[in-house]
Chains A and B, each alone.
Chain A
Amino acid sequence: MLSAQNLSYRRGDKIILADLSFALARGEGLVIAGANGSGKTTLLKILAGLLAPESGKLELDGTDIIGGKSAEYLGRILYLGHKNAMNEELTVLDNLKFWAGLAGNEILIPAALAYFALEEYALMPYKTLSHGLKRRVALARLIFSQKDIWLLDEPFANLDGETGERLANLIATRRQNGMVILSSHQAVALENFKELRLE
């Protein structure tokens, strides 16, 4: 059970999150909805431990996980920000090899390339890819992730229809035996997902 109680976050004088509470059990998903600038990314960063909230509680099964202080929690999450975390100079394959190597799952690289139809781009430098393709490469990391809690920032933005469906399938599978929290500024149809609307 992941639970957030009265989370608040302020940048300068601007209140970004105010008294936010929710709870999520294993097998459930959460869509963070809201307009641009409503604090979706901030909330995901707080959940990933990259930011610490000003006040409030954040716990996983009773353990405090604020600010990345719980190494066990960090070992269980996969965070996909709106930056793709791929080096522009390296090829698609070299980039994926690096992240798969760190995840200890290099064996799944061919599967990841195939799932997002990236085989023909594998040997191209990442910087030569289009926006949508770059995002697809970043999403390919989901395939070899062994983490059970996924935090995805706008995963459906800039994707074509088919890739979107494939991603939705992937998310549904992970949700069944883990937890998925994602943000979206557009409506997404995902089964068994709660919605949290930020103003």
Chain B
Amino acid sequence: MFFILLKREFRLLYKKKIELLQLLVFILLGLLIFPLAAGPERALLASAGRGYMWIIQLFMIFLSGKLFYEEDYRDGSLEQLFLQIPALEMLIIAKYIAYSLNLILISLISLPFLGLLFGIEAGTIMKTAASLIIGIPCLAAIAGFGASLTLGSRKAGLITPIILTPLYIPVLIFSVGSDNFLNDTVILTALFLLIAPLSIFFSALALKIAMRE
């Protein structure tokens, strides 16, 4: 049953090819603009690159993450799923997996451009890739929680970033990283293990409340 849910999430993502392309263009343009605006100083670009990549990720999630359950809520699928699957948590996990894998893939595709435009060496790019692979699911879990909390509210676009920003910050700090790569990775993984179950549990509660309105 879980795989049926997961299959549907991937199918829906794949149906919206234009939106996928939009995300990719968003990252690439963002990466292109920064070196132009900040000037050609190599040392500055190389040190700012990784952090800048994460800022782009955060904005991408701000823009797309609030729509997590919107479609299913509007067309009535969410109610039906609540009645048909043993636990809403299954749906939430399926959504997180599909959304995260999709963002990770798009980000990894754009990493060579980061290296090229910011003059970052291959080793740092690899570290960035690792932090994206662990960090994006964290951000997705936070965004998903925010989406469930404000589902059906017209003010969602205003409230969600304000509520969620304090939650994003720890993830951002350890994703951008210090000199100690191993340490950061361990902490990031720990953050993920903490955030994901909490987010899944509370999202399920919030979704049930949203359906009662």
Q: Which residues of A contact B (CB under 8 A)?
A: 48-52, 68, 71, 74, 77, 79, 81-90, 94, 98-99, 101-103
Does B8 sit at the interface, judged by CB under 8 A?
yes
Chain A interface secondary structure, helix, strand, loop or mixed? Answer: loop
Residues in A with CB closer than 8 Å to B79 are 50, 79, 81, 83, 85
A86 (CB) vs chain B CBs: closest residue: B75
B8 (CB) vs chain A CBs: closest residue: A98
A104 (CB) vs chain B CBs: closest residue: B1
Residues in A with CB closer than 8 Å to B72 are 87
Docked CA distance A82–B80 (Å): 12
Docked CA distance A94–B9 (Å): 12
A-B interface, 4 closest residue pairs, ranked by CB to CB distance from nearest: A83-B76, A85-B76, A85-B80, A101-B4
30 pairs, A vs B, C-beta closer than 8 Å? A48-B83, A49-B83, A50-B83, A50-B212, A51-B212, A52-B212, A74-B83, A77-B83, A79-B79, A83-B79, A84-B75, A84-B76, A85-B75, A85-B77, A85-B80, A86-B77, A87-B12, A87-B72, A87-B77, A88-B75, A89-B12, A89-B15, A89-B16, A90-B12, A98-B4, A99-B80, A99-B84, A102-B4, A102-B85, A103-B84
Does B71 sit at the interface, judged by CB under 8 A?
yes
Docked CA distance A74–B86 (Å): 9
Residues in A with CB closer than 8 Å to B202 are none
Q: Which residues of B contact A (CB under 8 A)?
A: 1, 4, 8, 11-12, 15-16, 71-72, 74-77, 79-80, 82-86, 211-212
* Contact across chains for A90 and B84 when beta carbons are under 8 A apart: no
Residues in A with CB closer than 8 Å to B1 are 102
A141 (CB) vs chain B CBs: closest residue: B80
Docked CA distance A172–B91 (Å): 34
CB A52 to nearest CB in B, in angstroms, measures: 8
Docked CA distance A103–B80 (Å): 11
A81 (CB) vs chain B CBs: closest residue: B76
Q: Do A68 and B82 form a contact, CB below 8 Å, given A50-B211, A89-B12?
A: yes
Docked CA distance A52–B212 (Å): 8
Query: 6 other contacts beyond A79-B79, A98-B8, with CB at 8 A cut-off?
Result: A48-B83, A50-B212, A68-B82, A81-B79, A89-B12, A99-B80
Residues in B with CB closer than 8 Å to A88 are 71, 75
Docked CA distance A50–B11 (Å): 28
B87 (CB) vs chain A CBs: closest residue: A71
CB A50 to nearest CB in B, in angstroms, measures: 6
B78 (CB) vs chain A CBs: closest residue: A85
* Contact across chains for B11 and A94 when beta carbons are under 8 A apart: yes
A102 (CB) vs chain B CBs: closest residue: B84
